[in-house]
Structure 1
Amino acid sequence: MAGLIVDGAGLSAGAASSADIADRLAASAEGNSRPGGQPSHAGVSAFGAAVASVRIRQSARMSTHHAAMRTAVIRYADTDDEGAGAIARTV
């Protein structure tokens, strides 16, 4: 059975990945929505606006995930350092 391996670097990488995804989603939501003169253009424009709205919500969700991961990195490092100090004092 494989053991659980966790480290601060992995958590930091996950947080950075979440931030990158959030940035890309936000950037892709900033589209150019100029409706044309055909009736179908209004429908396409409305669909594009709906997709942009979803991307904005997902970007906000990933930003929240990033913030939670950064907090986890800090807490993990603090706990790991305290544990290492306790072991060093005991030994």
Structure 2
Amino acid sequence: ADLHLRLNQPEESVEYLCAIHQRLLQTMQNPRLGPALREAALRQSSKTYVELLNFISDHGEYPRSNLLLKRPVAQSGHGFSTVSGHHPGAH
């Protein structure tokens, strides 16, 4: 994502950030994965969420970031974590 910003390609950068965040959300909600991996995905998703918010603050909103961050909880993968009991949507 940083490389694309340096190349003045913010849309490519936000695509990477969104894809990473979305994959982490999917990972932490996947009951077939082990608790340690799901907990790690939860912790990392908090960081990618902040990165997305910082990106939007610095570069403005993009369609994919709007879709990912403004979706209802069930659709984005945010939800009640059965691993930790935390609600990951409240980063």
The TM-score with structure 2 as length reference comes to 0.50
Structure with greater contact order relative to length (CA < 8 Å, sep ≥ 6):
1
The TM-score with structure 1 as length reference comes to 0.50
Greater Cα radius of gyration, structure 1 or 2:
1
